[in-house]
Structure 1
């Protein structure tokens, strides 16, 4: 059963991250950081005018804006983002999670993509209380209250690049 769950999850992530897919009424939104954004951003600066992807909770929207600010300041650049989507777990369908893709979905992040993903993961873990995070997953490791938000996290039981979050940082906020 876990193999089927993994296949469904991977298919959901891939579908959620595709641009211009079938179904114009889809609530999934692709957002890419703006090129050439302001070079210096305060640690807590957030672009309040930035639009959030569809169907995010207020907490996730606040976090999204903070992550976007970090990304556009050139510190933690992601290549694409997927948030609301159907899934067997509650985080994405409830609008409480986003996947920040570093590079291409299905291809393990390396070089600058890996470095940027590591920076984003570290920033998220550092700011978990401020943004009321439930968990962060990156490079096959889960960071949460269960791990005391340690910088080493705990191993994730998974297989494959996307299932093991080796191509994207997954972040979810609390209810």
Structure 2
């Protein structure tokens, strides 16, 4: 189909305009190499000066790690809200927000913070979250030094963020296994996956020598045109299945074709075991990552996450309803990645059932 898609996210650096911000050398701050603004999402660029100012008080927290946490937690959506009640860029729980000294009235799972609540404001959010996260990082670093647990402090901080610091303090290694620190099989899997995702994103936005690239991954292929209005399954499927697609799905394929060079097959219309599937109605497409039936390589998985992050960043323009990829699901209702459990139809541990070998995209109409 003549797609122009990057084969791997790591190759993007040489193709994009790089704007350098020199590192500061104040004695009490982390001295980092140049930051590549050309690879940052717009909100991250806007927040960079304030983020650097806040991190001057926490030199042990690399900005690349913090930006990786934000990417994993909210995909840089300042109004992200989870079903558990976590809100904002780094997904602060109401108790954590209060513990961190955040302003505003407490909220709950059932009642979102008010529209004017400071948890939604990116500057206020980071001004509250970063010192709190830094205190936890320092506490857990001291614990690791005292106990000799074989875990990197940043990985331990990621465990703290997703599951609470007690999972580090009460576990044998700092990364809880099933039955360890009150963590069952699902808990241990979720924590391990989260730590791996933060590390993977940090790796994508940092060069081998440790210099921070801050590749935001949300605008690596440019912004797509806005999707047309709703319609039925009355257009020929451009991916060659012989079936039909809606105008919105056809637009999705056209935008991927125009802005990327996706090296693997894309397929939209088709029958599926799931009676609620959007594929038979032409409202869904699958982007193969590597090859169907086998786990992707690290480079292929990196490319998959680059595409997935781009799609979530432009979900409104592309009229995306939900994505399933790499054992996780993203829905427009909550706008965060959550563990995928197979919808009662598929085996989420299977390479194909868990969507480790392909990225599913469903559009609204």
TM bucket (normalised to shorter chain) is: 0.5 to 0.7
Aligned residues: 132
For 2:269 and 2:332, locate their aligned partners in 1 and report how far apart those are by CA, in whole Å.
23
**TM-score w.r.t. structure 2 length?**
0.33
Instruction: Extract unaligned runs of 5+ from structure 1.
Output: 1-30
For 1:133-172, list aligned pairs within 5 A. 133-147=320-334, 149-150=335-336, 153-157=337-341, 158-172=348-362
**TM-score, structure 1 normalization:** 0.66
- 1:58 aligned residue (239, 247, 251): 247
CA RMSD, Structure 1 to Structure 2 (Å): 2.6
Shift of 1:33: 3.2
Match of residue 364 from structure 2: 174
Displacement after TM superposition at 1:113 (Å): 1.0
Distance (whole Å) between structure 2 residues aligned to residue 63 and residue 135 of structure 1 = 13
- Measure the CA separation in 2 of the matches of 1:106 and 1:115: 18
Q: Which consecutive segments of 4 or more residues in structure 1 shift more than 4 A? A: 39-42
In the alignment, the residues of structure 2 paired with residue 171 and residue 97 of structure 1 have an alpha-carbon distance, to the nearest angstrom, of: 5
| Secondary structure class of the residue paired with 2:290 | coil
Q: Deviations over 1:2-42 (max 9, x none)?
A: xxxxxxxxxxxxxxxxxxxxxxxxxxxxx57369xxx8875
Separation in structure 2 between the aligned mates of residue 65 and residue 123 of structure 1, nearest angstrom: 15
Distance in structure 2 (CA, Å) of the matches to 1:131 and 1:86: 23
Q: Quick check: which has more Rg, 1 or 2?
A: 2
- Could you tell me whether the CA contact under 8 Å between 1:33 and 1:79 is conserved in 2? no
Instruction: Give the secondary structure class of the aligned counterpart of 1:170.
Output: strand
The 5 Å alignment of 1:1-175 reads: 31=1, 33=3, 42-44=222-224, 52-53=238-239, 54-72=243-261, 77-87=262-272, 88-147=275-334, 149-150=335-336, 153-157=337-341, 158-175=348-365
Relative contact order, CA 8 A, sep 6+: which one is greater?
A: 1
State the secondary structure of the residue aligned to 1:109. Answer: coil
The residue number in structure 2 matching 1:23 is none
In proportion to residue count, which structure has more helix?
2
Q: Larger % of strand: which?
A: 1
